[in-house]
A = this chain, B = another copy of it.
């Protein structure tokens, strides 16, 4: 905003007629405008899938776990489809591919193979999809080759999240919009201020999927970069990393062990599949990209039965287990396996906010290299900001789940029973095989 100046100023000769006309003529205000506008781990996993599982077919679904918010009442399926068609028409731009080829990720050049980049340019496409309404909710279902389906995850989540935002924004006057954003900025800055100057702190922005909007996420990242300096390790958003010369962060997700588990033919193969993922992953990636994600079928069984070389991996991301407990468990496991925990990394990424980040940093500081993945509660925490005290901008728990792999049901047990997914009979079978109990974790906020 201009802060100086005074009365009597007019646009005068300087009306930009073309811009005004253009702004009035927009048919669509696209939410996702680049295929890089996704979490970096999706690109790493895409290359992994392209290389190892190019012919596998899967289905996945975006749904809303916050059932109290009836999305279909706020978002028109038609408008959502227009946004999805726009994404489907996007191609990787030459400059983006050159950046993927030439940039250093986690200190390593040429993480992406030339053949993969050629395929990204010429062969990549997004799968078909269906949008349906169910119990007041919108369900996005994707089906096709795994390489075509996987990338929908973040685009789909970000589209729904921002369309919910836009629906709520449309109910506000210009003044109310201003109040909303002033309050959100004040809230954001109060959070950032608490993190400023904390020695050795390492935070990555992980909030693409449930962001308030793209522009707000960009604002958040710029704010963090300006105020936190080196404490901001990077962003999971590849486009923002590209645009703002930040580190692109992230490694892999549950969909890999889930898919390999679904493809297993025997109980023995199923138990082994969670380590088979690691074997394949370390053929393509090294260093900081070797981050265990042990909670897909239960962290404790994963660590107990893991081959010794898994302890050579660089670190662990704990997602569904209380990170204090998960971190202690990992450190104890490393000790038992004769490794130096202080050289390992621990990443927490589940619904963190400032208090959690500060407490975890204090707790693990000096024992393991702790990093916080700060997601929804930095890119979409508008709680208490609505000018009329409504809750329209409160974040909701949108998720994208792998449903089937080659027609077989996919399952995630996780360390928190609230987060397990899959048909009940299959969940039961998996629990039996992995020996994992249903642990009642805390209720899911985001």
Interface residues of A (CB under 8 A from B): 1-9, 13-14, 16, 18-19, 22, 29-34, 36-37, 162, 165-166, 169, 173, 175, 177-179, 181-186, 189, 213-216, 218, 222-223, 226-227, 239-240, 243, 387
Contacts and interface: CB of A to CB of B under 8 A. Distances in A.
17 contacts: A3-B215, A4-B29, A4-B166, A4-B215, A5-B30, A6-B30, A6-B214, A7-B36, A7-B240, A7-B243, A8-B33, A8-B34, A16-B16, A173-B226, A175-B222, A183-B185, A185-B186
A415 B243 CA distance: 62
Given A6-B37, A175-B226, 5 more contacts: A3-B215, A13-B18, A175-B222, A183-B185, A189-B387
Given A19-B14, A222-B175, A183 B181 contact: no
> Which of A5, A184, A243 has most chain B Cβ within 10 Å?
A5
A214 B214 CA distance: 32
A215 B5 contact: yes
A227 B14 contact: no
A234 to B, nearest CB: 17
A14 B14 contact: no
A161 to B, nearest CB: 12
Nearest to A184: B182
The 9 closest A-B CB pairs, nearest first, are A182-B185, A8-B33, A6-B33, A6-B214, A186-B186, A175-B226, A14-B19, A16-B16, A7-B33
A239 B9 CA distance: 13
Given A3-B216, A7-B239, A215-B5, A179 B183 contact: no
A14 B22 contact: yes
A2 B33 CA distance: 15
Contacts of A8: 33-34
Given A14-B19, A16-B14, A22-B14, A4 B213 contact: yes
Given A6-B31, A29-B5, A216-B3, A16 B19 contact: yes
Contact of A177 (B3, B16, B184): B3
Given A7-B33, A16-B14, A22-B14, A181 B1 contact: yes
Contacts of A13: 18
Nearest to A90: B8
Contacts of A181: 1, 3, 182
Nearest to A175: B226
A355 to B, nearest CB: 21
B178 A185 contact: yes
Nearest to A173: B226
Among A5, A6, A182, A226, which residue has the most Cβ atoms of chain B within 10 A? A6
A214 B31 contact: no
Contacts of A226: 173, 175
Given A7-B33, A189-B183, A2 B175 contact: no
A240 B189 CA distance: 32
Given A4-B166, A14-B16, A29-B4, A185 B179 contact: yes
A378 to B, nearest CB: 15
A96 B13 CA distance: 22
Nearest to A13: B18
Nearest to A179: B189
A299 B16 CA distance: 58
A29 B3 CA distance: 11
Contact of A32 (B6, B32, B216): B6
A178 B169 CA distance: 21
A9 B22 contact: no
B14 A214 contact: no
Contact of A214 (B5, B162, B179, B218): B5
Contacts of A5: 29-31, 33, 213-215
Which of A4, A7, A29, A173 has the most chain B CB within a 10 Å cutoff?
A7
B185 A215 contact: no
A220 to B, nearest CB: 11
